[in-house]
Every structure is written in C-alpha cells, then in structure tokens.
Structure 1
C-alpha cells in the first residue's frame, strides 16, 4: 500500500514539475451535470414528442491542455459521466387484459466515457470563453420508475449494456479562482438518431478544474 501511494505521489510530483516548465499542462476535473432530452418520432402513425426534466448527475476525469500563447489554448478532457433525467408520459397500454391510459414516471440514467476537445480564448487573467466538440461512448443505460392509473400500480427497474457513439457541440466559459483552480460552466448540445427517433440531448456541466 505504501509503495502504491509513493508511486502515485511520485507521478503527480513529476507531472507538476513537467507542467511548470512546459506549455503542456495537466490536471483533475469533476463536478455535476444537468441533463434532459427531447425525443421526436417522425413516423406519421407514431408522431409524438417527449420532453424530459433536468435532473442532477456527476462527472470526473482529467484534462491536458496546450498553451499556444497567453490567449489561446487547446484542451482535451477524458472523463466518466453519469447523467440522469426524469420522464413523465401518458400512454395506452394493454394491462389487465384491456387497453387503458397509464401514467409512466421514471428516472432514466446514462453512463458514458467522454472526451471533449475544446479551444479556449482568454479575455483576461480571470475569464476565458470556450467552444468545441464532445466525443461520447455510451456503455450503459438504466431506468427505474412506476406505471399507474386509478386501478393499477407497478414499479419497475431495468438496465442494459449498450455500445453507442455520439458527438455534440460545446460552448462555455472558465473563471479562474487562482492560478491552479478554475470554475467551468459548459453547455453541450447533441442531435442523434436512435431507433428511427430523433434524440436531442442538452447537458449543462458545472465543474471545478485543478491544475497539477
């Protein structure tokens, strides 16, 4: 155990020493996200729209950036994210041998590895603007909730492993609290097609960056 801690400490110290003498900087990043989506089914006989409510998740990872000059830097941020949102819909479902209207309420969670690639422009020593792309690998989805009407109630929980890739656009900004710590606010917008449905995702990330 002591040997592992010594190795981790040595690596962090080495990265810190290297980053101080280089245009390449390393750091840790984490925080919370707010996630919702809109589903549009384009088929005429299924044409409908589902909007979910923002819910709170989290993310954690690292970042590496390259400073071209005092104004412009490019940054990549490999990270893990858990995003979740609340969905409430009413549908006609065949339960108890009849087709009836039921209210469905559920929490939908998405687990992914993501790698944003962004360009930052420093307006001054404290504030920077950013924009770029997000590359996402989704490996798991999970949902839990209930189905109910006046005469029926059922709770459910299910998850599935998936293998999906998607991309998104990023805009945001960074506020430097100190030379090593910054607050990052970011909006991620993605539009993808899944099972013949258009899936419009909106994610707000509120994070803290610590430069080693």
Structure 2
C-alpha cells in the first residue's frame, strides 16, 4: 500500500486488541522513527518513554480521562520535554556534530554561541512552548510511520501530566510528559474500525499560489 492508502487506513483507535502485541522489531522501528524526527536546530529537546507494563498502564487510566486505550494498547509511548532547557544541552549537541561530521570549531562556534545566548535570554514559558511544538512534530511522525507499518495508534492530549510524571518517575529524570500515544492493534469490535474517514475536500484546505 502507498502512503496515502496507509493514511486512509489510519484512525484514532477507540479499542485495542488486548491480546495482540507489537514485536521487538516493530517497537524498534518506532524508536528509530522518533529519533529521526526533525526538530528545530536539530536539538532534539524531546524524549520518549516506552511503557510496556500493564500495572503501570492500568494506574494511568484514571489519569487519562478513563480512556481504556491506555491499558489495552500493546505499548504506551509518552512524549516528554525537559523541565528546563540549558546551555549544556546545546553544548552536547554541538559536540555530537563535531564528533560525527568533524566540523571545524570556527564554523560551529558562531551558531553555537547564538543558540546558547538565545536560549539563555528567552523566558522559560517561551522555551516550554517551543519544546512542546517539537513533541507534536514527533507525534505526527510517529503516527505516519506507524500507519506505514500497519501499527495502530491513538494520539492523546487528554491526561493529567502531573500524575503521569509521578507514576512513571519522570520527575527524577527532570522530564515533564506532554503527549501520549498508545500503540498496538485495533480490536475487531472497535465501532470506529469500518467507519469512513471524515475530511474536507483537499481543495478546501490546500491553497495553491502560482
């Protein structure tokens, strides 16, 4: 199937098959897809927590507006951002650039200094909003890759981040949860499974300038 057919196949699953689980290979594909997601400046200010623990997943249901997909899914992917973005994050990124590409300091340093100063001078709420935007980019990429791999998903904003952070121990990792993506396989009796996708006509949402 091509990409458009796969996106037609995809929908926000309302009920997962609790007896079907993703293979290690499938989970690794999602991990790599997450890691390869484009981010602003390439800084990757977002992390993904992979939960495959039914006890933990069950605990999280009550803090997810009782959406059962959280526990029904094979795995629960939780996208997180740092509580605070610091110059150390920028420094480590440019060290990685130098290690991988062997780029000279005289080329890297001006851009590195710009980013260090830019981050240092931005209010925390602006940086938090920017990092959340990067998480949404990752979410979209994960959903598309999942569809191409015939993996079902259901993106969620409706959850209590404070409780997620507490239950998953994210505070100790200096992380805040921002988005949730249960992944697995649709149940045969999911009422949404065979419904036609509702979308406006492409020409209504795409503006072409020539």
TM-score category, normalised to shorter length? under 0.3
Which protein has the bigger strand share? 1
Higher relative contact order (CA 8 A, sep 6+): 2
**Length-normalised TM-score, structure 1:** 0.24
**Length-normalised TM-score, structure 2:** 0.24
Indicate the structure (1 or 2) with the bigger Cα radius of gyration.
1
